[in-house]
Amino acid sequence: MPLPLGRFLPPLPEGSVASWLNELLDPGGWVIDPLNATPALALEAARAGYRVVVASNNPVLSFLLETLASAPREEDFLAALAELGAARRGEERLELHLRALYQTTCATCSGTTQAQAFLWRRGEPVPHARLYRCERCQEQGERPLAEDDLERLKLIGNINLHRARALSRVAGPEDEHYDGVREALSAYLDRPLYVLSTLINKQEGLALPPEMRRWLQALLISACDAASALWPHSAGRTRPRQLGVPAQFRENNLWLAMEEAIATWSAQPGAVPLVHWPELPPPGGISLFSGRARGLIPLPEQIHPLVVLTTFPRPNQAFWTLSAMWSGWLWGREAALPLRALLERKRFDWAWHANAMASPLIALSRALPAGTPLIGLMPEATAGFL
């Protein structure tokens, strides 16, 4: 089953979690995931009837798990996006304003249509091509840039203001991680950053029910991912690990990206009960602890017998750095605090990664009975990190 941000998450084989647990534990038993590398693990374990406790130190991954557990419907997202699109920017609707930034002229019929993406070469000041499917004549494919495409790049105005705001939402000038945030922002071109800033600011200004705000923020997370330059065109890593801009890359149409993300966010087969620690879940439910696994200790006496089950992710500087930025953009500086130290780390070497994986397991091992089963799934073994 596809997941939002799936290109950054361990590709867990469907059914593997339930299969492993069925060999060790009766349904209704307790399972602890101390890493939350992917929400798929906890969701599958809960749907197999187990009580799952998840420790999650990444606000983005916590949000993914909470949102997917509620199994939102397509119509929920469509209503939320319509509410955002109807917001005003000056005299026009926000949706129309943002779509205008991605308009292009069909090379065949001269009709106006939406570009799906603009294509860039690393280091060049303007894109060199566009991808589109004409809404009038249905012509589609890659075409050279048109003159009006270059003119539309100027519509965003003073981008320095938006870059300054994006920086300030994660760290202030006095913060030791300020330079790390500024460097990470280089993965965002001017137009996508303008669109993101506009979307996030408008979302905050709307008086929305909490659930509708959650659906909008889910789509904004997908937009944050689609907005980066880490989308190679033709060749390159489709599952990036570093914040390295490909030689050729896509600048995606972010309104279309949000529309397309709805199918993934609404693909869950049914809701899973989710509570927040220290509240304990029913059989088939999840208790989410927002913090490191050592914060679960001491465990309540009723959490026994149990299995420690987790997925070991590959080293991924790109995802964790972006998670810090996205957390700050959507939920403020305080939300980004658990991850801000990662903004200075350019590479996750063996020693750092081994410590990050081992520390929560060591903390749990000191609090659990001897012989407690541990299952560690490694769907993406990385040479040099085994």
d(CA 329, CA 199): 11
Nearest to 258 by CA among 120, 133, 95: 95
Write the pLDDT tens digit of every residue in 206-215: 999 999 999 9
Residue % of the chain over a pLDDT of 70: 96
The better pLDDT of the pair 347, 273 is held by: 273
pTM: 0.95
pLDDT for the residue numbered 239: 87
- Give the least confident one: 64-73, 112-121, 132-141, 335-344: 335-344
Mean of the pLDDT values across residues 25-49? 97
Write the pLDDT tens digit of every residue in 38-57: 999 999 999 999 999 999 99
Structure tokens at 276: 């927040």
Domains of the chain and any CATH numbers? 6-71+273-316+343-377 (3.40.50.150), 97-265 (no CATH)
d(CA 305, CA 328): 38
d(CA 108, CA 167): 42
Q: State the chain's mean pLDDT as an integer.
A: 93
Structure tokens at 250: 């896509």
pLDDT for the residue numbered 255: 98
Strands 112-121 and 103-105: antiparallel
pLDDT band at 358 (very low <50, low <70, confident <90, very high): confident
- Give the dihedral sign, CA 357/358/363/367: positive
Write the pLDDT tens digit of every residue in 122-178: 999 999 999 999 999 999 999 999 999 999 998 888 899 999 999 999 999 998 888
pLDDT for the residue numbered 348: 66
Mean of the pLDDT values across residues 84-102? 95
d(CA 323, CA 327): 6
d(CA 368, CA 364): 6
d(CA 114, CA 256): 9
